Amino acid sequence: MSDHQASEQMLGYLYQVRYALFLLLNHDNPDFQISIEKFDDIAFSKDDIPKQLIQVKHHVQRHGNLSDASTDLWRTLKVWIDIINTSPEILDGTEFLIITTSAAPKDSAAYYLKHDDERNANDAYQKLRAICKKSENKAHAAYYKAFLKMDEKTAKKLIEQICIIDGASNIIDVDKVFRKQIRYSCIPKYENHICERLEGWWYRKAIEALCSDTPIFITINEQI
């Protein structure tokens, strides 16, 4: 692995932890617990049942996009298909999110899975199925095979429950976003100090959780 690839990978791990803090601060269900690398990259669960499975994709030097043949997209779908094959019940009441710094090109499957007026899960499904049948990308062969092997009803249900959030803040800019949450709850001169304390606390919690056999984090209702 080149130094460039290694740094990109390391930034991806750090982004995952940092973005999890942002999601926790912004989550609107105070009873949900957050975890990292338990159910997925990031997940919100209740009573140890996942309610949101979240994959985060970070790009800095290499500008990716979520085209119909995107590796980010298909690698994520394969992860979720494997989970569903093991635990089919997870499709009942679970939301699947891809949060990426990349863009979902207009008229792509990912574009039709964004949470806006142009969302069309059926069109997204048809585009993904078409790629599976016509693509000659050998690196993606296992992904396409797993998708086509799924029962059509199950595959469509998965696609209906996927939400794409593209153009997300990168690892640097996400700091500015969660600072807005702090800004309204402290005196301005203490903002930097509180943010540093909060993020330091969060990284310690992340390390403790990732080193344990039960990597459960906290709810927003718990004392920070």
DSSP string for 163-178: EEE-S---TTHHHHHH
**Average of per-residue pLDDT across 205-224:** 74
Q: Distance between CA 157 and CA 209 in Å, rounded?
A: 32
Question: With bands split at pLDDT 50, 70 and 90, how would you rate the model's confidence at 126?
Answer: very high
Contacts of 72 (CB under 8 A, 6+ apart): 57, 64, 66, 98, 100, 102
Structural domain spans, the chain: 3-210
Q: Distance between CA 46 and CA 137 in Å, rounded?
A: 39
pLDDT digits (tens, 9 = 90+) for 81-119: 999 999 999 999 999 999 999 999 999 999 999 999 999
For 12-46, b/e burial (b = at least 16 CB within 10 A) is beebbbbbbbbbbbeeeeeebbbbbebbbbbbbbe
- 65 in helix, strand or coil? strand
Residue 141's pLDDT is what?
97
pLDDT exceeds 50 at position 156 = yes
Question: With bands split at pLDDT 50, 70 and 90, how would you rate the model's confidence at 127?
Answer: very high
Residue 221's pLDDT is what?
67
> Is there a contact between 131 and 144 (Cβ–Cβ < 8 Å)?
yes
> Is there a contact between 30 and 4 (Cβ–Cβ < 8 Å)?
no
Residue 102's pLDDT is what?
93
> Is there a contact between 55 and 41 (Cβ–Cβ < 8 Å)?
yes
pLDDT digits (tens, 9 = 90+) for 158-205: 999 999 999 999 999 988 888 887 877 788 888 888 889 989 999 998
**Average of per-residue pLDDT across 6-27:** 90
